[in-house]
Each structure stands twice: as C-alpha cells, then as structure tokens.
Amino acid sequence: MSLLKVRDLSVAARGRNLVDSVSFTLDAGERLGIIGESGSGKSLTATAIIGLLPPGLSATGSVLLDGHEVIGAREGELTALRGAVAATVFQDPLTALDPLMRVGRQIGEVWERTERRAGRPHGKGDTRAAVFSLMDEVSLPEPERIAGAFPHEISGGQRQRVAIAMALACRPKLLIADEPTTALDVTTQKETLALLARLVADHGMTLLFISHDLPVVAGIVDRVVVMRTGVVVEEGPVRQVFATPTHAYTRELLVAAERFDRALGAA
Amino acid sequence: MSDILRLDHVSYAYPGGRPVLRDVSLAVTAGRSIGLVGQSGSGKSTILKLLLGLMRPQTGDVLFDGARLDLSDRQMMRTYRKSVQAVFQDPYASLDPRQKVQAIVSEPLRALGIGGDRRAMVVAALRSVGLDGDILDRYPAAFSGGQRQRIAIARAIVAGPRVVLADEAVSALDLTTKVRVVDLFRDLARKTTLLFVSHDLGVVASLCDEIVILEGGRIVETGPTRAVLAAPAHAYTQQLLASVPRLPDFLAGASSP
C-alpha cells in the first residue's frame, strides 16, 4: 500500500497556481526525490503534504498520508499525523530549533510527546537515556556538552544532526528532507547524507528527499520527480531519468550538472 | 612584473579573535584567472576584503602593481578602484532597488569621474553581458536573479577594470542559470583577469586556470586547476574533492549533444 498518495495537488496564492495538478505516490520503504529549481513548487509540495502551508496559500486535490486525507483536515488531525507518520528536516536547522532552549531538552520534548501519544509511561531518567541514545544514533560527539548547549553554540552540521535526531524521536514512517544539506559545507554535507541514508535503511523509513542538486539526489533515492514552475515534467527511476531523460528541461538540467561534474575529472 | 595584485605574507585577526589568515601569499597575474576555494571559516572572504581595500592586514602587505596598497593615498586608491572591481553573491542585495539600471551600471563611471558618453558605455557593458540596451530605465525588481547578476557584472566591467573579483557570484543562482553566468565569466576572463572566490569546486574547475585551496586561514595547495584536481597533493584537497557529490557513472556522456 502506498504510504503517500498525492493526487491533483494544486497550491494557489491569490488565484494563481504555484503548484499545479501534481500527482505521485510513494510506497512504504521507497526513497523518492523531488528535483527542481527555485519556483518549481518542490518545497510547497512538501509543505502541503504535511499541511503546513503558510497563510494566504490554499491547497486543493488530495494528499493521502498513511490513509488519512491531509487536504481540508482539521489542525488536530494534522498534529497527530505530523510526527507519528511524517517528520521533516528542513534546509536551515535554525528554523526548526528553539534558539532559547538547550538542544538536549528539545530532543527530549519530542521524544516525550511521542511516548505520551503512544500511551507509554516514562520518567525523567527514561528521557535522558533516550536523548543520549538519539544523539548517539545521529553520531553527535560529546553528548553531555552538546545536550547542554544552545543551538548557536554548536556548528551548522551539528545543528542539522540535532534536527535529524528530533525527527527520529517521532519514529516517523515517512521522513521528508527538504534541501537538508544545502546550507552545509561540502565535507559536512557528505557526512550528513551518509547519516540520512543509514538511518532511513536502519529504521525502514520511507524517504521524500527534496533538492535542487542532481548528484545529491541521485546518490540517495531510487526514483525521482522533476518539477518546473509548479508542474511535474518527468518521473521515473533515477537511472532511467538521468540516463535517458525524455523532457527537454530534464535534459537541460543534466547537461548543466554534467558540465560542472566533468570539470572535476574522473570521480 | 605582471602581478597586478599580490598578498605578501599576510596575516589577519579580527579584534579579540583568533587569526583568520595566517601567512597567506598569492599573486593575481594578468590574464590568468584564479579560483580561491575554501569552506566556511577558510578565510576566503577576509582575503577578498583585503583585496577590496576594505581593511589592512596586520602583518604582510597587499601589493598593487608592485607597490604597497595604501588605503589613505587617495590618488592610488582611485587608480585601484578603476582597476579592480567586484561582483558579489546575492543579486538581490547587491543592486540598489531604488535606482534604475542606467544609474546602477554607470555608478563606477560617476564615482571615478570617467567622462565621455556614459550612456553609450553603459549600453556597451550591458550588451557584453547579453542584456539589451533598452532596459536602462527599469528597476532591479523587474529582473530575475540571473539577469540581476548580469547587471552586476555590467557594473563591474563598465569602467574597464584589469581585475574582477567575484565573491560566490554564481552560488545563489539556479543550475541552468548558473551555467549561463559561468559562460559569461569565462568570456570575461578572456578580456580581464578574474579572481573567483567560491566554495564550489565544480564551478572553479570549469572556469579558472589556477586554483588556491584554503583551509583554516592557510593556503594548503595551489597550482594549475587541472593538475591540482587530477592529483591533489594535500590531504585536505583530497578530502574536499572526495566530498563533492558526483553524478552516477551510468550517466557519463548520456546527455551529451
């Protein structure tokens, strides 16, 4: 059964469609990438999937997340779906983190909420152990120090690991990663991508990975959707879309990516 | 000597901070485009600020045509500004939204007191970056990121500089736009000398004759771009190169014309 079924999803602002009749499905355990440049609607699509569109934007069509309709759902139902079914990691971890709360506490709160929802009793010591275990899972070094630090006191790569730990604390079926490594230095990006790939495999999570970066997407997903100006122009397995693109825009993207890739010489 | 700009054993520390540049020496030679590559904290922005004459090194010298750059020497700095122009990362922040294209692009001509038919010079600069001369009366808001970056390049070249400093000048652009603007910089590199600061190895590799790799305020490796990338000698360069996400093998040549 598909974990996510998007049918004719449109997102409109002042009568103009920014996302226009987008459809795709994502089966449990699958890893799907959405590739697009700015204005493609890729991030709006992700935002609509978790029902977090900013005011002024409205979605029509259907988004079935684990069998629950997201479009038109009440906030209470959405809150239950977010976390339990889908958790998101954004480009800038600072937007996801509370600047005034120590990072250990932030991870702990998400974990406690997940336990409460599941009706599992837990004490303070349980939270502490869970936080350290989550930090270990995302390979954060010096857990004592980092748990006691505020977001601005740790590096960008470490902040993104904290955001990933918080997503993981929800034990979601679907992990949505929206440009999760775009703001990171290239060496940190490599480590973070390896971490995401390992966690998705270890926990059997389904992955929706949104990025403008073709090589990054190709390295982490099985199937891609290519979007441009709110419309899906091409979809298929990575190998098929990258080796034999059918749409002119996909070809243009690939030619551009190849140009910089080739300049680096043999991999 | 053909070095237009030189950093000679330059070190720099911000007040109360650790050194951000340690004994950096590099030369910008006429006709050789040079790429400065480093991650955050490598010191590449500080080098650029020194080369823009925005601050002085604590030790070492910035040399311009072999002479020590003296920020208080107005005559020298005028010649310097005419010779060295810059393009910045953010095409939305680097153009004054209240000024028309004509005023933006002609700004160096006014600031440097360059006379003659300024309008014709502006039109020529715009044409050379692939923009029509009929956009003179429009505001930056009317243009996309790629077009704005072209306007910023037109402003940098309108006074005929010998060196153009580019600070992450294509980093904010979409891939398909980036390719076109990199092509434009490549044309530019034939007419002037380019110092291109970037974190993006692929862009530098496709654009620059020479490469300088910075780590933690030090130059760890430098040389012809092709040679350095083919056989990086320093462990940091190797790590950097190995970290760049690459296209899958099955693609090689698939979409070539």
pLDDT digits (tens, 9 = 90+) for A197-250: 999 999 999 999 999 999 999 999 999 999 999 999 999 999 999 999 999 999
Instruction: Decide if A122 touches B, using CB distance below 8 A.
Output: no
Give the residue from chain B lying closest to A252, CA to CA.
B176
* Residue A252 covered by a domain: no
The pLDDT of residue B214 is above 70:
yes
Q: Are residues A138 and A161 in the same domain?
A: yes
The CA–CA distances, whole Å, from A143 to A64, A89, A168 equal 38, 21, 16
Provide the pLDDT for residue B256.
46
Contact check, Cβ <8 Å, B244/A264: yes
Provide the pLDDT for residue A51.
94
Q: Rounded CA gap, A27 and B37, in Å? A: 41
A21 with A8: CB under 8 angstroms?
Answer: yes
* Residue A165 covered by a domain: yes
The CA–CA distances, whole Å, from A101 to A107, A115, A159, A161 equal 10, 21, 13, 16
How is residue B228 written in tokens?
């350095």
Give the residue from chain B lying closest to A181, CA to CA.
B245
Averaged over A23-40, what is the pLDDT? 96
Averaged over A33-47, what is the pLDDT? 95
Q: Rounded CA gap, A208 and A32, in Å? A: 5
* Residue A243 covered by a domain: no
Averaged over A60-88, what is the pLDDT? 93
Give the residue from chain A lying closest to B228, CA to CA.
A264
Test the B interface: residue of A186, A223, A227 with most B CBs within 10 Å: A186
Q: What is the ipTM of this complex?
A: 0.88
E strand or H helix that includes residue A12 = strand A2-13
Q: For chain A, what is the domain count? A: 2
Candidate from A213, A215, A265 with C-beta closest to B229: A265
Within chain B, how many helices (H) and strands (E) appear?
Answer: 9, 10
Candidate from A37, A215, A252 with C-beta closest to B247: A215
Instruction: Decide if A237 touches B, using CB distance below 8 A.
Output: no
Q: What is the residue range of A123's domain? A: 95-171
Q: Looking at beta carbons, which residues of chain A come within 8 Å of B39? A: 185-187
Q: For chain B, what is the domain count? A: 1
Angle between helix axes B145-157 and B101-111 (nearest 10 degrees) is 20
**Exposed, middle or buried: residue B99 (CB in 10 Å: 0-12, 13-18, 19+)?**
middle
What's chain B's Rg over C-alpha atoms?
19
Instruction: Decide if A37 touches B, using CB distance below 8 A.
Output: yes
Provide the pLDDT for residue B15.
86
How is residue A2 written in tokens?
């598909």
Q: What is the mean pLDDT of chain A?
A: 94
Among the ranges given (A17-21, B15-19, B78-82, B239-243), the one the predictor scored with the smallest mean pLDDT:
B15-19
Q: How big is the A-B interface in CB pairs under 8 Å? A: 102
Q: Rounded CA gap, A49 and A68, in Å? A: 11
Contact check, Cβ <8 Å, A190/B245: yes
Contact check, Cβ <8 Å, B254/A243: yes
Distance (Å) from the alpha carbon of B37 to chain A's nearest alpha carbon = 12
pLDDT (tens digit per residue) in A142-180: 999 999 999 999 999 999 999 999 999 999 999 999 999
The pLDDT of residue B257 is above 60:
no
Residues of chain B with a CB closer than 8 angstroms to some CB in chain A: 39-40, 145, 174-179, 199-203, 205-206, 226, 229-230, 239-251, 254-257
* Residue A244 covered by a domain: no
Contact check, Cβ <8 Å, A213/B245: yes
The pLDDT of residue B254 is above 50:
no
The pLDDT of residue B133 is above 90:
no
* Residue A152 covered by a domain: yes
Contact check, Cβ <8 Å, B202/A264: yes
* Residue A160 covered by a domain: yes
Which residues numbered 128-167 in A keep a CB inside 8 Å of some CB on B?
Answer: 156
pLDDT (tens digit per residue) in A6-23: 999 999 999 899 999 999
The CATH number covering residue B127 comes to 3.40.50.300
* Residue A248 covered by a domain: no
Q: Are residues A76 and A180 in the same domain?
A: yes
Q: What is the residue range of B55's domain? A: 3-241
Q: Are residues A120 and A181 in the same domain?
A: no
The CATH number covering residue A80 comes to 3.40.50.300
Q: What is the mean pLDDT of chain B?
A: 93
Position of tokens 């060196």? B163
Nearest CA to A251 out of A230, A226, A231 is that of: A226
* Residue A264 covered by a domain: no
Q: Are residues A167 and A187 in the same domain?
A: no
**Confidence bin at B253 (pLDDT 50/70/90):** low
Q: Looking at beta carbons, which residues of chain B come within 8 Å of A234? A: none
The pLDDT of residue B150 is above 80:
yes
- CA A65, A71, A77, A78 dihedral sign is positive
Contact check, Cβ <8 Å, A243/B240: no
Q: Helical H runs in chain B?
A: 44-51, 74-83, 101-111, 118-128, 145-157, 175-191, 201-205, 225-230, 235-243
Averaged over B31-48, what is the pLDDT? 94
Test the A interface: residue of B33, B176, B198, B211 with most A CBs within 10 Å: B176
> In chain B, pLDDT over 70 holds for what percent of residues?
97
Averaged over A29-50, what is the pLDDT? 96
Contact check, Cβ <8 Å, A187/B39: yes
Q: Are residues A70 and A5 in the same domain?
A: yes
pTM of the model: 0.91
B164 with B87: CB under 8 angstroms?
Answer: yes
Candidate from A156, A218, A252 with C-beta closest to B248: A218
Averaged over B142-166, what is the pLDDT? 95
Provide the pLDDT for residue B255.
45
Test the A interface: residue of B92, B198, B247, B256 with most A CBs within 10 Å: B247
Q: Are residues A29 and A51 in the same domain?
A: yes
Distance (Å) from the alpha carbon of A223 to chain B's nearest alpha carbon = 14
Give the residue from chain A lying closest to B146, CA to CA.
A38
Q: Rounded CA gap, B100 and B135, in Å? A: 9
Nearest CA to B65 out of B37, B118, B29 is that of: B29
* Residue B44 covered by a domain: yes
